[in-house]
Amino acid sequence: MPRFGVCAWIYGDAPLEETLARIADAGYDGVEIPGEPGVFDPGAVRRALTQTGLTPVGLTASCTVPATRRDLAHPDPGIRADAVEYLVACLRFAAEIGAPLTQMLPSGEPRLRPLASVAEEWAWSVAGMQVAAREAERLGVRICVEPLNRYEAYLVTNLETSLAYLDAVGSPWVGTTLDLFHANLEEPDPAGSIRMAGARLWHVHVADTNRQGLGRGHLDLGPPADALRAIRYAGAVVLEVTPPGPDPFCSIKDGASPGILDQYLRESIVHLRQHLG
């Protein structure tokens, strides 16, 4: 049975210890920690993980632009260097807290078009990822490229393009994530895409088609679950949900949001166990 986790970032600025307790109380055994090496003390994170019994299954990179300079595909070489430095810092943070991987976006989010040519930005992103991959190998921490849907990114939006990106990077330390919310928009057959990725699929995110808890939209979790079993998927399945309302990049909309998320977590673990337990 895969480990079931939750992305901690969905609880916003709440103290991490409080968020981890909520995730554990809902019945999960894993957590994806926000990729903010300068914000969280590794020792404090390790203590909070021990207290809650949760296992760190990865880091969530935050590449929101222009709020940050975390864009591997940007025409400005200084911004690209900052993005590589950020990814390397995430890898080191992951190693310090015992997380096996960190996710990274090939371009900034939500940048929806190239600033130079697509070919140039692809090459710049690949080159930066190759630099980070050498640090990943040194640390023994893997990198997962996450495709985002066309409304949040432009360079890598589906699994086929993600696999081509992995081919270009050419490192055994770089694999891919599949997020079933994004896949609902971009993959003609999410289960078929899982089979196509095979052993290069290292991480899975899940939410219903409205990005709410499982069972609140029209996602049929059965075929993707069958496909994960078919490829003998051994990674984590991580819930990444947000309450209803505007701004998909801000999970906490108001004072009711944490309680809504708690309910989503409790409902979703039932579906995960039913299909993947």
Residue-wise pLDDT for 123-178, tens only, equals: 999 999 999 999 999 999 999 999 999 999 999 999 999 999 999 999 999 999 99
Whole-number pLDDT of residue 247: 85
Mean pLDDT over residues 98-109, rounded? 98
For residue 9, give the nearest of 46, 30, 34, 40 by alpha carbon.
34
Whole-number pLDDT of residue 214: 98
Whole-number pLDDT of residue 104: 98
Please, what is the average pLDDT of the chain? 97
Is the confidence at residue 1, as pLDDT, over 80? no
Is the confidence at residue 111, as pLDDT, over 90? yes
Q: How far apart are the first and last CA of the chain?
A: 5
Confidence category of residue 258, pLDDT binned at 50, 70, 90: very high
Which domains are assigned to the chain?
A: 3-276 (3.20.20.150)
Is the confidence at residue 120, as pLDDT, over 80? yes
Is the confidence at residue 2, as pLDDT, over 90? no
Confidence category of residue 246, pLDDT binned at 50, 70, 90: confident
Of all residues in the chain, the percent with pLDDT exceeding 70 is 100
Whole-number pLDDT of residue 135: 98
Of all residues in the chain, the percent with pLDDT exceeding 90 is 97
Confidence category of residue 18, pLDDT binned at 50, 70, 90: very high
pLDDT in tens, 205-217: 999 999 999 999 9
pLDDT in tens, 51-101: 999 999 999 999 999 999 999 999 999 999 999 999 999 999 999 999 999
Whole-number pLDDT of residue 277: 87
